[in-house]
C-alpha cells in the first residue's frame, strides 16, 4: 500500500543543502520534518565516498515516510583560480601593476600563475578580472599568450588558489571538467534525481551533460554568468530546470542588477514551464544567528511572490549553527506569504500564454474550473511528469495531487511548485481513475466529503504525453467511509 503522508502547507518548495552540519541520518530526518522537500549535495566539497551514505540516508528516510524525496547533485564546474604565492598570502596595492602569467613559480606582490590558458586567448584590453569573489578588481592593460598585465583598481589581501571571475568576455571553456564527469557518473549511479550544471554560458554547454546523464536524471542549468543572460531563452529551452545562482552572478555583475535579472530568469522559466530555484544567501545571517534579518525574510518573500518553484538554503543548512531552524524559517515564510490574500494576484503578474496544444488548454481550464467550483485539488495522472508541469505553470490556487507509476518522476517533482507527488500503481480504466483520485485525495488529506476534485489524465492510459481528459467529480460521505483506512494495494 502507498503510505499516506501529509502535503506541505505551502506550494513553494524548500531545497536544503547538506553538509557537515546536517549530513547525518538523524539531521536529514529532522530537516525533512521541518519542511525540506529536496536536498542538495554539493560536489565541490568532500569526496564521492562521503556522499554515498548521505544519499542512502535520504533514500532510507523516503522508504520510512513514503514521501518521494528529491536529491540534487550540484557539480563544481570549471572554477577558475589563481596559483600559489611564495608567502601564501600577499597584499595588492590599489593602482599598482600586477601580472598573471603561465609561470608555475610561486608568486609575489607583482605576479602569480594563472593556470587557465583559455583565458589568455579570450581576454581583451579593458576587461576586468575579479579575484576572491570580487573583493579585488584588476583591469587588463595588455596581454599575450604568456602573460596578462593589469592595473589593480581595487586592492587588498590575496592568498593561494583564490577564485577568479572574468565577467566581460566569454571564456571558451568546457562546461564539464574531468572532476565533473567523474562526479556526474557517480551521482547518476547513486540514483540522484537532478544534476545541476555550474557556470553555464551557452545552450551548447548543456549537450555533453545531457548525453552523459542518459535520461537517468533531470538537468538543471545554473545561471551565474553574464554570458548566460544573453542566451537565456535558449538555455532554459534546453534544460529541465533552472537555478538563479545569485552568488557568482552578483560577483560578475553589479549587485543592483541582480534583482531585475532574478525576476527575468524566473519569468522566462515559468513561461517555458521549467522549475526555477532561487538560491544563495537567502537567510545568510542564520549561519550564525537563530533568526534572520527582516531584509532576508523580505528577500525570500519576494522570490515566492514572483512565483519561484523553489527557494534554496546553502551554508545556512550545510555548515551553519542553525540548520533545522533555517529550514523551519523557510517553511514559515512560505506559509505566511501564500496566506496573503494578494498572493494569488501577485504570482500571476507573469503572463503565461498556453501553447496551442490540448494538454495546455486543459491545464489552463483546470485552473479556471478549480477556482470557479471551489475544488479542493487538481489530480494529475502522469508517467513523465509533463502534465504536472503544465498544470503547475498555471499556478492554480489549489494543491496539485500527482499520481504516477514512476518513482523517478515522483522524486523529480520535488522541485515543482504546488506538486504533491505520490508513487502509485497506474490505472486501467476511466472508472478506476475516478475512484483512485477520490481515494488518494482523501488518504492524503486533500479532500473531505462534499469536496470537488478536478481530474486530468490521458486516454488511452499508460500513453505518455497524451493528456486529453478533464473531469470534475465530487467526493461523497459514503466514499469517505468506504475509503477510510482502506488497506488495498495501490
Of 3, 79, 81, 102, which one is the catalytic site residue? 81
What is the reported pLDDT for 101?
97
- Residue 40 annotated among the catalytic residues of the structure: yes
In this structure, are residues 140 and 148 in contact, taking their beta carbons and an 8 Å threshold? yes
User: Residue 337: in which H helix or E strand, if any?
Assistant: helix 323-338
Which pLDDT value is given to residue 252?
85
Cell triple for residue 196? 545541476
Please report which residue ranges of 66-204 form alpha helices under DSSP H. 117-122, 178-189
Q: Is 244 a residue whose pLDDT tops 50?
A: yes
Q: Of the ranges 88-92, 189-193, 463-467, which one carries the lowest mean pLDDT score?
A: 463-467
Listed residue (242, 190, 195, 189) closest to 217, CA to CA: 195
Q: When comparing pLDDT for 452 and 481, which is higher?
A: 452
Q: How far is CA 150 from the centre of its chain?
A: 37
Cell triple for 80: 577558475
Determine the straight-line distance between the first and last CA of the chain, rounded to whole angstroms: 5
What mean pLDDT value characterizes the chain? 93
Does domain 89-165 fall into CATH 2.40.33.10? yes
Residue 486 φ/ψ, nearest 5 degrees: -65, 135
Which fold would CATH assign to domain 358-483?
Pyruvate Kinase; Chain: A, domain 1 (3.40.1380)
C-alpha cell at position 488: 488495498
Instruction: Report which of residues 383 and 477 the model is more confident about.
Output: 383
**Does 310 score more than 50 pLDDT?**
yes
Q: Is the pLDDT of residue 483 over 90?
A: no
Identified catalytic residue from 280, 383, 404, 424:
280
- The two beta strands, 128-131 and 136-143, are antiparallel
The helix/strand/coil state of 143 is strand
Q: Helix 294-305 to helix 323-338 angle, to the nearest 10 degrees?
A: 50
CA 286/CA 394 separation, integer angstroms = 33
Q: pLDDT band at residue 176, thresholds of 50, 70 and 90?
A: very high
Q: Write out pLDDT tens, residues 403-462.
A: 999 999 999 999 999 999 999 998 988 999 999 999 999 999 999 999 999 999 887 776
Of 97-101, 358-362, 418-422, minimum mean pLDDT range: 358-362
- CA gyration radius, the chain: 24
Is 383 catalytic? The answer is no
Which listed residue (40, 270, 393, 436) is catalytic? 40
User: In whole angstroms, what is the distance from residue 458 CA to residue 244 CA?
Assistant: 33
Statement: residue 351 has pLDDT above 90: no
Average the pLDDT over 3-7 and give the result: 86
Predicted confidence (pLDDT) per residue in 8-54, tens digit: 999 999 999 999 999 999 999 999 999 999 999 999 988 999 999 99
201-214 pLDDT tens trace:
999 999 999 999 99
Who has greater pLDDT, 69 or 356?
A: 69
Band of the pLDDT at 489, cuts 50, 70, 90? very low
Residue 240: per-residue pLDDT: 98
Q: What pLDDT does residue 487 have? A: 45
Longest dimension (CA), the chain: 82
pLDDT tier at 488, thresholds 50, 70, 90: very low
- E-state strands within 229-285: 241-245, 276-279
Catalytic residue among 128, 222, 390, 438: 222
For the 13-78+174-340 domain, the top CATH level (class) is alpha beta
Cα dihedral sign for 131, 134, 137, 142? positive
Pairing of strands 467-474, 452-458: antiparallel
- What pLDDT, on a 0 to 100 scale, did the predictor assign at position 485? 57
Active-site residue, 222 included = yes
Q: How far apart are CA 69 and CA 298, in angstroms?
A: 27
What single string gives the DSSP state of each residue in 276-327?
EEEESSTTGGGGT-SS--HHHHHHHHHHHHTT-SEEEESHHHHTSS-HHHHH
Quick one: pLDDT band at residue 356, thresholds 50, 70, 90?
A: confident
67 is catalytic: no
Task: Establish how many alpha carbons lie within 13 A of residue 220's alpha carbon, considering only the half-sphere containing its beta carbon.
Answer: 29
Contact yes or no for 206/221 (Cβ under 8 A): yes
Tell me whether the omega of the peptide bond preceding residue 436 falls within 30 degrees of 0, making it cis: no
Q: What sign has the CA pseudo-torsion 288, 289, 295, 301?
A: positive
pLDDT given at position 352: 77
How far is Cα 447 from Cα 440, in angstroms, rounded to an integer? 9
Which residues have C-beta within 8 Å of that of residue 142, sequence separation ≥ 6? 125, 148, 149
pLDDT of residue 484: 61
Residue 313 confidence (pLDDT) above 90: yes
In the block, residue with C-alpha cell 505520490: 422
Looking up cell 467511509 gives 481
Residues 402 and 410: their CA atoms lie apart, in Å, by 8
Sketch the domain layout of the chain as residue ranges.
Answer: 13-78+174-340, 89-165, 358-483
Phi (first) and psi of residue 10, to 5 degrees: -150, 160
pLDDT of 462: 66
- Structure confidence at residue 332 (pLDDT): 98
Please give the share of the chain, as a percent, with pLDDT higher than 70.
97
Distance between CA 318 and CA 221 in Å, rounded?
Answer: 21
Judging by DSSP bridges, how do beta strands 310-313 and 276-279 pair with one another?
parallel
CB 468 within 8 A of CB 482: no
280 grid coordinates:
544563495
pLDDT for residue 221: 98
Amino acid at each position: 500500500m502507498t503510505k499516506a503522508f501529509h502535503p506541505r502547507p505551502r506550494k513553494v518548495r524548500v531545497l536544503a543543502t547538506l553538509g557537515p552540519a546536517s549530513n547525518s541520518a538523524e539531521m536529514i530526518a529532522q530537516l525533512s520534518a521541518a519542511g525540506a522537500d529536496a536536498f542538495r549535495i554539493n560536489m565541490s566539497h568532500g569526496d564521492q565516498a562521503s556522499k554515498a551514505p548521505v544519499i542512502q540516508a535520504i533514500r532510507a528516510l523516503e522508504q520510512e515516510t513514503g514521501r518521494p524525496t528529491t536529491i540534487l547533485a550540484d557539480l563544481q564546474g570549471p572554477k577558475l583560480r589563481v596559483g600559489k604565492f611564495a608567502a601564501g598570502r600577499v597584499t595588492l596595492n590599489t593602482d599598482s601593476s600586477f601580472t598573471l602569467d603561465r609561470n608555475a613559480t610561486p608568486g609575489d606582490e607583482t605576479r602569480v600563475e594563472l593556470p587557465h590558458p583559455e583565458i589568455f586567448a579570450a581576454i581583451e584590453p579593458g576587461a576586468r578580472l575579479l579575484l576572491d569573489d570580487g573583493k579585488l578588481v584588476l583591469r587588463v592593460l595588455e596581454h599575450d599568450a604568456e602573460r596578462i598585465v593589469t592595473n589593480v583598481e581595487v586592492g587588498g589581501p590575496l592568498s593561494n588558489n583564490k577564485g577568479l571571475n572574468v565577467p566581460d568576455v566569454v571564456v571558451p571553456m568546457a562546461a564539464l571538467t574531468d572532476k565533473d564527469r567523474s562526479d556526474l557518473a557517480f551521482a547518476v549511479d547513486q540514483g540522484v534525481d537532478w544534476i545541476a550544471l555550474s557556470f553555464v554560458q551557452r545552450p551548447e554547454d548543456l549537450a555533453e551533460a545531457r548525453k552523459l546523464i542518459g535520461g537517468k536524471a533531470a538537468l538543471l542549468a545554473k545561471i551565474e554568468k553574464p554570458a548566460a543572460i544573453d542566451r537565456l531563452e535558449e538555455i532554459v529551452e534546453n534544460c529541465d530546470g533552472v537555478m538563479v545562482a545569485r552568488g557568482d552572478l552578483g560577483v560578475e555583475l553589479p549587485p543592483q542588477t541582480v534583482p531585475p535579472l532574478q525576476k527575468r530568469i524566473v519569468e522566462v522559466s515559468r513561461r517555458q514551464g521549467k522549475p526555477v530555484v532561487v538560491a544563495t544567501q537567502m537567510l545568510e545571517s542564520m549561519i550564525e544567528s537563530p533568526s534572520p534579518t527582516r531584509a532576508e525574510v523580505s528577500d525570500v518573500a519576494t522570490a515566492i511572490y514572483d512565483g519561484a518553484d523553489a527557494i534554496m538554503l546553502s551554508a545556512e543548512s550545510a555548515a551553519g549553527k542553525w540548520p533545522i531552524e533555517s529550514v523551519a524559517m523557510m517553511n514559515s515564510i512560505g506559509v505566511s506569504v501564500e496566506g496573503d490574500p494578494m498572493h494569488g494576484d501577485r504570482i500571476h503578474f507573469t503572463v503565461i500564454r498556453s501553447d496551442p496544444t490540448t494538454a495546455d488548454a486543459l491545464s489552463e481550464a483546470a485552473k479556471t474550473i478549480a477556482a470557479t467550483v471551489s475544488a479542493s485539488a487538481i489530480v494529475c495522472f502522469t508517467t513523465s511528469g509533463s502534465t504536472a508541469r503544465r498544470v503547475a505553470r498555471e499556478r492554480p490556487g489549489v494543491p496539485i495531487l500527482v499520481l504516477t507509476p514512476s518513482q523517478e518522476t515522483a522524486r523529480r517533482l520535488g522541485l515543482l511548485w504546488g506538486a504533491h507527488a505520490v508513487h502509485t500503481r497506474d490505472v486501467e480504466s476511466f472508472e478506476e481513475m475516478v475512484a483512485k483520485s477520490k481515494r488518494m485525495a482523501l488518504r492524503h488529506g486533500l479532500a473531505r466529503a462534499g469536496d470537488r476534485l478536478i481530474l486530468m489524465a490521458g486516454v488511452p492510459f499508460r500513453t505518455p504525453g497524451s493528456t486529453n481528459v478533464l473531469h470534475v467529480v465530487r467526493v461523497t460521505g459514503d466514499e469517505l467511509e468506504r475509503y477510510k483506512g482502506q488497506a488495498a494495494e495501490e
